[in-house]
Structure 1
């Protein structure tokens, strides 16, 4: 049973710590920035890949600290991602983050994750997150690819138009919901 509760975080308003700057750290950082290009991320690692250095060079919201992990790096952070090649370091990051009630994700270790970085489809204002409950990231990837091909490119224009229409509606919340439901019911026609 999938007990996950999907939410969309305004990561650009939060402070994120990424521990690890190798291949997995690069993957996590790239994914985060693809979905939220204005995310503020502090990257801590003894070694920092050239690719992550290049990303930081072109993004003033990425801060690099070349150092071993220490719990002080959790200060004033909201989210934590542990992505080192050392399971014991990742577990230490997890334990330290939990002591501070921070949300943490330990790469490739579902039992040490408060959240997963699932597949994401973005078309303008429309964003769809896909989760397999940490069981199969490759399935989430394939579903993302399917949805990217299926959802029309002009969906953002439709969303903008519906938003403008919503602003013209008079009446209480219930009336507005009913009117918008009627307007959008054609989106999922069943033949």
Structure 2
């Protein structure tokens, strides 16, 4: 009987220890989630003149109406008003990331700059057309990031921020299915990841 009591006592102590460690994990996860929610609310303030939040796809569309020439990705071919708008949008984004990163140094940020390409005729469905669309949209995103860097907007200076340059070609979730001309734009996605320890 004494051995049975001892076994039950050991099992009870083990169960309490396991539940205590799981409780600490749940509390830590809840704190991380709250922090990410706070950061996401702060990033929502980007919504305005230069950025529009796409609720369906959980990302920002650059509010500046960019209209590259077909099959082109040269920023110098855009009119001065568009380039100025893109520059101001970059400054707004840079300031927001700088403030949020300063307030949350234990959080890593990823800024995804996505270029898009307009579908024209049926060429976009061919193998060559798909490849060309991906390359063109990538070159557009790269041109925007390079344009920002040339004007002193360099996200690389933040140790906890990484910029990804991507092209979604003739596809991607941020497309405007009603107006193909509008698909020569950029989409910005910002994600945050809280480190293992708060």
Fold match by TM threshold 0.5: no
Between structure 1 and structure 2, the one with the greater Rg is 2
Which structure has greater helix proportion?
2
Structure 1-normalised TM-score?
Answer: 0.22
Structure with the greater relative contact order (CA < 8 A, sep ≥ 6): 1 or 2? 2
